[in-house]
Amino acid sequence: MDSGFNDDFLEKELFGGDDDGLDGASMDVDDMMLTGQSVVAVEADLASAAAAADAVAAAAGNGVPEDDGRVRLERSRELHTAKLDIAMDDPPGELTLLQHPPRAQVGLADGVQGCSTFEVTPTMALVNPWQIYTVTATPNMRWLFTGGEDGYIKKWDFNATVNGKQLLTLGQRHSLVDSIAKAGVIASYWDHTDVVEGGVEMLSPVYSMAVHSQALWLVSGMKSGHIGLWSVRHDEGRRISLLSKHKKPVSVLRISPDEYGLVSGSWDRAVLYWDLNTGRLARGFAGHTSQISSIEFQPWSCEQYEAHLRSESVGGAEFDAQTTGPVLMTTSIDGQCLLWDVRAPKALPHPLDTPKKTPPWATSACWSRDGKRIYVGRRNNSVDEYEFGAGSLPVRTLRLPLNSGPVTALAAMANGRHLVCASADNVRVWDLEQPAERRSTVPFQVIPGHHGGTISSVFIDESSRYMLTPSGNRGWDGTSNGNNLGYELTP
């Protein structure tokens, strides 16, 4: 199966055309816009385009004359009306997140809260010869699910894996570090079948997944744009329904904190909120100009839900630390990061600006566990840190070694002090609160296990006892080393 694409296809998907000229790229901006009652901020930094400066400045009307008669281009933000090219359901579904409290979280392991460091030890390997695009698990880590380019959903017995019920062979351990001896214990698997034109069923790569907290059901993203709803606990592997609105592979799926809703993101640049009680669309988020790479809800507790019920104000394009409504963060592969107030369907998204001289790229972003900070991984070996409610520019940038490669996956640890960064060379745990007198030392520790290959995601369970790092390119650029490693975290 084709798990990636070439540079020409990447350029066409990101910038909307095959023409390398500036005129062609600017003419295709409107064609790349999606739908909805919102406005998209499209940034253009054309400072290096000296040859076309006069023409572009005349068209945009933002030229500033220099002393020698040349035109200097200013970095500008143009507003374009965006319309979602997806038919909304009538009547629409409900925004369930506003109607139900979030589910209770699993308690943290002893010693995690406030600990100064973690000992991260790789001990498990879930052997899989195919690229793994996505991984999800029940909050208590009883069952673990993986999916990828082979077109199968695999269910693993994580308790048996951690307890060492099955060990790796000498041949399997040959390329791994010495501490990895436990093999993944697979409980079952089923075909990830999709219905294509003519009613024909065929296997589809598993681009994304999310599972119910009690493993009653699971949702998966397909290449055609369908979202499959599968039964897990009863009549395992039976496809209950297909949600059909997206037109391209569904790259991200997130179950809402109340577990009655689902948010999906696709290569068609659309983000949709589904009411799982009815299977209807509740809202479309229009604003991205490229394929959706990550979706994360701001941490949303029962106390915040009660504060939302008491609040009568509805936020708009501006966010601050006192915002009581649920906030959704979405990123696209072109580097765009938007914040949405779920309560306000017609409000503009709040964009987080990309720093200058930063290439357009973002495959992963995450919230801190307290919901006050946002981290966005970039292609130029860096992670931008934003303060929620403190403006649109990053407050600092974490720089990885120059040879580390693009940051493909991020996850914040529960103590609020450490950030897991996965790049092409290694997995690192970054100390975000290193004292000033120690800044001459390396601010991160390298975690053994992975070396080379693209990490598709970093999964940390709610108790912060275990971490998983599957290898795969999610259908984009990069190679896989065929490893899905499990780590035990010790405060």
Task: Report DSSP state, residue 411.
Answer: E
Each residue's pLDDT tens digit, 124-152: 999 988 999 999 999 999 999 999 999 99
Whether pLDDT at 409 is above 50: yes
CA dihedral sign of residues 29, 30, 34, 39: positive
- pLDDT attached to residue 49: 32
Pairing relation of β-strands 119-125 and 182-183? parallel
Whether pLDDT at 359 is above 70: yes
The stretch 187-205 carries a mean pLDDT of 93
pTM of the predicted protein model: 0.82
pLDDT band at 199 (very low <50, low <70, confident <90, very high): confident
CA 141, distance to chain mean position in Å, is 21
- pLDDT attached to residue 83: 66
Q: Which of 455, 446, 441, 447 is nearest to 484 (CA)?
A: 455
Cβ-Cβ contacts under 8 Å for 325 (sequence gap 6 or more): 308, 311, 314, 315, 341, 342, 343, 344
Place of tokens 């650029």: 477
Whether pLDDT at 257 is above 80: yes
Each residue's pLDDT tens digit, 373-386: 999 999 999 999 99
pLDDT > 70: what percent of the chain? 79
pLDDT band at 70 (very low <50, low <70, confident <90, very high): very low
Distance of alpha carbon 202 from alpha carbon 131, whole angstroms: 19
For residue 354 the two structure tokens come to 């990309």
Each residue's pLDDT tens digit, 432-470: 987 655 555 788 999 998 887 899 999 999 999 999 999
DSSP state letters, 425-442? S-EEEEETT--GGGTTS-
Report cis status (omega within 30 of 0) of the bond before 351: no
Each residue's pLDDT tens digit, 245-254: 999 999 999 9
Mean per-residue pLDDT over the chain, rounded: 81
